Amino acid sequence: MEALKIAPTEKFKERVAKLLNPRSIAVIGASEKPEKLGNAILRNIVSGYKGEVFGVNPRVKKIQEIEVYPDVFSLPYPVDLAVIVLPAEKAVVALKEAAEAGVKSAVVISGGFKETGNEGALLEEEIKKIALDFEMPVLGPNCVGIVNNNLQLNATFLRTAPLKGEIAFVSQSGAILSTVLEWSLKEDLGFSYMISMGNKAVLNEADFLPAIANDPGTAVILLYIEDVVEGSSFLKKAYEASLLKPVVVFKAGISTAGAKAASSHTGALAGSIEGYKLAFAKTGLIRAKTLEEMFIYARVFASGQKVTGKNIGIVTNSGGPGVITADRLELNGLNITGLSAKTINELKTFLPRAASFGNPVDILGDADEEKYAMTLKTVLDDEKVDGVVAVYGKTAVIDMEKMVQAVINGRRKNPDKPVVACFLGGVDSRRAKELLNKNKIPFYSFPEAAADALAVLYRYYSWREKQKEGKTEFSFDDIDRKLAREIIKNALVEGRRNLTGYETAEVLKAFGFPVLPVKLVRNVQELRKAIEEISFPLALKIVSPDLLHKSDVGGVALNIKNEQEAIRAYQKMILEVPKKVPEAKILGVEVQKQIAPGLEIFIGANRDPVFGPILAFGLGGIYVNLLNDIALRLNYKFTREEALEMIKETKVYEIIKGYRGQKAYDLKIIQEILGRLSLFLEEIPEIKEIDFNPVFVYEKGALIIDAKVVLAGHNI
């Protein structure tokens, strides 16, 4: 089924803001029976929300002081938000009536849509149509609802309300939403928003990211998704959001089995996990690979701490956990910095001789909280230190609250350097947790989690820093787009998905790729003429749309050294190929110069169903799949810098820059081919797949030796 696409108009966007921050709400399907969702939601809304609330239900007049109207048209005025809790078919009718009555936005809680099969999917299409016709944003269907703690609004049927805080959570799964809620209650962490997207019929992550990223009450956005509906819109919004706030994303359905399961339960789109990874990397989204990682990241970002460098100090009162912390920080690419002599001398004035003055600084198990605080302060004072992991293994000497106070005190003078705490075995005192949260110190039960937290902080802030660097788009003034399009069009008109070698060469030439001049000849006379223009040795190849493996049928002749050999090879080919494959249509023979071997690289692309073309670069030749030395990037807003970056990511780069004293190869031409390929894919959306393998790279210049272009057909 083709998705109805809603191009968000200004009116639509304004109404999304109303959905997130409504001044008035009507619960359609409000119920007076406590066991009904229509009652639970109403109760939750009125429990804190200060705006006007109405009920809609033809059989009741009032529910707990709330006025109930027989239908949406009878409401005193068109509310900002309708929350619809009715069986699927009735919900669609109610949605349409609400739209007609001028209601600005809606949340459809009801299930019974796409997730239940074809009939439900048809009903869901109606929701989309109403949204489109009335420019009305709709959340859901099949969702838990929405929380906006800035307004003390809980328009969900959750049995417990989230605390107020600075985490925004946007989830495609209701069960994960309640899991996150439970975790947050245990950990005393609060939310600004909780948005349950359900089936994402109309509104999806791309609609919410801009609004939430600009909310001053939100420090971090968590995103749980099983699919992305609109690839390029997601890329744009995710990038813009990441520049403002850390956005942590958990993507479920990354395995074959998982993707299948996801698609069966929400009808999620199958994009490749590679596409998602590239999308997250491109937009600065921080991927949590487990739910627990999501919690670890949420806590550290919610603390609002920042880090500017990768040199980390470790303060510990127990050896083993200090070692584990160092292991994990290093694994994460951070640096266990050497401390300055000044710091070490200072530490020696108050720590016992048996303490470790390296990094980790081990103050030993019998140290009291004062020593701990002084050590932390001293290490934070060190100019070489960008942040500290404070590790504490419970001892008889310090109790938990004193210890917490020690960390807070130790940090007091250096509030700009991050401190992440690890209390081995967890913080079991509620008061201690409150203290830590109040003082914005993220805390964990495991050294690995604390190290991961500091590492993700560094990853995010260094990514943000990197965005300030210049980005150069590719542009070429020697591209003949018209010619290229004509060739492609011609192939499509003939119903072909593959280009002939000749067409491929022509289309690549039109886009300025470095290809050998190729002449198509159809008789000996034309061959003689071609030979005049191309110097020996030559290669001849048969041209036929029906032959993929030409050498197998005698359709390739190499190393031709003179005219006589050329003519003989030509005649043999023309004679013998049709004998072997009588059904193949022969268009002629290509003549080209036989080339000198160069470094073999691979450049190619294919198209991800969600995020569009993915560019590939790596070691070429027959072992390309075997060695799998390939770097990938999305073509979306592909820059010169990214091209260079992807080349540098591979092992073949070591050879390109001159491996162990050998000569270096032309890096710039590779970058340029990637750039031209990027434009090519943008200009010719009919290309489904393209492979240059091998490309011979020389000290100066390069040549695409073999190219394959596969078209997707007319209607892409």
Q: What part of residues 370-429 is at the interface with a second copy (CB under 8 A)?
A: 393-394, 396, 424-426
Shorter beta-carbon distance to a second copy: residue 546 or 654 = 654
The answer to whether 437 touches 315, Cβ cutoff 8 Å, is no
Q: What's the CA gap between 365 and 351, in Å, rounded? A: 12
- Dihedral-angle region of residue 192 (phi above 0 means left; psi in -120 to 50 means alpha; beta otherwise): alpha
Q: How far is the CB of 200 from a second copy (least distance, A)?
A: 13
Subset of 649-678 contacting a second copy (CB under 8 A): 651, 654-655, 659-660
DSSP string, 51-101: SEEEEE-TT-SEETTEEEESSGGGSSS--SEEEE-S-HHHHHHHHHHHHHT
- As given in the structure block, the two tokens for residue 419 are 């401190």
* Binders in 36-95 for a second copy, by CB under 8 A: none
SS in 3 state form for 120-168? HHHHHHHHHHHHHHHCCCEECCCCCEEEECCCCEEEECCCCCCCEEEEE
Closest CA to 176 of 237, 141, 226, 115: 226
User: Phi and psi for 675 in degrees, rounded to 5?
Assistant: -65, -45
Closest by CA position to 25, among listed 66, 86, 70: 66
From the list 291, 179, 172, the residue with the least C-alpha distance to 234 is 172
Site for a second copy in 476-505 (CB under 8 A): none
Whether 704 contacts 513, CB under 8 Å? yes
- Contact between 352 and 344 under an 8 Å Cβ cutoff? The reply is no
Q: Tell me which residue has tokens 């209701």.
A: 174
* Residue 356 contacts a second copy per CB under 8 A: yes
Q: Which of residues 260-279 bind a second copy (CB under 8 A)?
A: 260-262, 264-266
- For residues 449 and 643, which CB has a smaller minimum distance to a second copy in the complex? 449
Distance CA 330, CA 310 (A): 10
Q: Scanning the structure block, which residue is given the tokens 């929701």?
A: 127
Number of residues binding to a second copy, judged by CB under 8 A = 75
Indicate the residue among 449 and 591 with the shorter CB distance to a second copy. Answer: 449
CB of 688 to a second copy, least distance (A): 23
Does 362 engage in binding with a second copy (CB under 8 A)? Answer: yes
149: tokens are: 């703690």
Which CB atom, from 230 or from 448, has the smaller least distance to a second copy? 448
564 or 628: whose CB is closer to a second copy? 628
Determine the Cα–Cα distance for residues 709 and 670; give it in Å rounded to an integer: 19
Whether residue 594 contacts residue 539, with contact meaning beta carbons closer than 8 Å, is answered with: yes
Residues 505-524, interacting with a second copy (CB under 8 A): none
Provide the β-strand partners of residue 191.
167
Binding a second copy (rule: CB under 8 A), the pick from 327, 370, 401, 691 is 327
C-alpha atoms less than 13 angstroms from C-alpha of 552 in its C-beta half-sphere: 4
Q: Which of 7, 257, 341, 548 binds a second copy (CB under 8 A)?
A: 257
Among 9, 47, 255, 462, binds a second copy (CB under 8 A): 255
The tokens for 156 are 């969900």
- Judged by CB under 8 A, which of 76, 87, 117, 621 binds a second copy? 117
Among 7, 65, 290, 495, binds a second copy (CB under 8 A): 290
Shortest spacing between CB 491 and a second copy, in angstroms: 28
Choose which of 48, 319, 537, 554 interacts with a second copy (CB under 8 A).
319
Which residues, numbered 422-461, are part of the site for a second copy (CB under 8 A)? Answer: 424-426, 446-449
**With respect to a second copy, which residue has the nearer C-beta, 336 or 516?**
336
Cα R_g (the chain), whole angstroms: 32
Stretch that binds a second copy, among 148-156, 256-264, 339-347, 598-606 (CB under 8 A): 256-264
Residues 527-566 that bind a second copy (CB under 8 A): none
**Segment contacting a second copy (CB under 8 A): 93-101, 286-294, 397-405, 583-591?**
286-294
Binding flags for a second copy, 148-167, as an x/- string (CB under 8 A): -----------x--------
Name which of 348 and 412 has its Cβ closer to a second copy: 348
Least Cα distance to 146 among 92, 203, 189 occurs for 203
| Preceding omega of 537 cis (within 30 degrees of 0) | yes
Q: Residue 7 interacts with a second copy (CB under 8 A)?
A: no
- C-alpha span between 347 and 355 (Å, rounded): 10
Q: How far is the CB of 583 from a second copy (least distance, A)?
A: 24
**Among residues 341 and 396, whose Cβ is nearest to a second copy?**
396
* Member of 48, 102, 190, 258 binding a second copy (CB under 8 A): 258
**Distance (Å, whole) CA 59 – CA 304:** 49
Our CB check for a second copy shows the closer of 122 and 524 to be 122
Nearer Cβ to a second copy (434/654):
654
Stretch that binds a second copy, among 79-87, 200-208, 259-267, 459-467 (CB under 8 A): 259-267
Q: Name the one range near a second copy by CB under 8 A: 60-68, 78-86, 325-333, 454-462.
A: 325-333
Angle between helices 118-134 and 88-100 (to 10 degrees): 10
In angstroms, what is the minimal distance from the CB of 186 to a second copy? Answer: 8
Nearest approach, Cβ of residue 459 and a second copy (Å): 18
In the complex, what is the shortest distance from the CB of residue 549 to a second copy, in angstroms, rounded to a whole number? Answer: 11
Which is nearer to a second copy, 403 or 424 (by Cβ)? 424
Whichever of 209 and 655 has its CB closer to a second copy, that residue is: 655
Taking the least distance from each CB to a second copy, the nearer of 146 and 515 is 146
Q: Is the CB of 300 or the CB of 326 nearer to a second copy? A: 326
Question: Shortest Cβ distance from residue 53 to a second copy (Å)?
Answer: 23
The DSSP code for 116 is G
- What binding mask, one character per residue, do residues 175-214 give for a second copy by CB under 8 A, x or -? xx-xx--xx--x----------------------------
Longest Cα separation, the chain: 102
* Three-class SS of 421-475: EEECCCCCCHHHHHHHHHCCCCEECCHHHHHHHHHHHHHHHHHHHHCCCCCCECC
Contacts of a second copy in 610-649 (CB under 8 A):
622-623, 626-629
The nearest distance, CB 12 to a second copy, in angstroms, is: 28
Of the residues 70, 76, 304, 320, which one makes contact with a second copy according to CB under 8 A: 320
Question: Token match 């997707």: residue?
Answer: 712
Among 151, 323, 534, 712, binds a second copy (CB under 8 A): 323
Bridge partners, residue 601, by sequence: 619, 695
In the complex, least distance from residue 444 CB atom to a second copy, rounded to whole angstroms: 10
Q: By CB neighbour count within 10 A (0-12 exposed, 13-18 middle, 19+ buried), where does 641 fall?
A: middle
Q: How far apart are CA 38 and CA 220, in angstroms?
A: 31
Candidates 14, 133, 292, 473; binder of a second copy (CB under 8 A) is 292
Tell me how far, at minimum, the Cβ of 654 lies from a second copy, in Å. Answer: 5
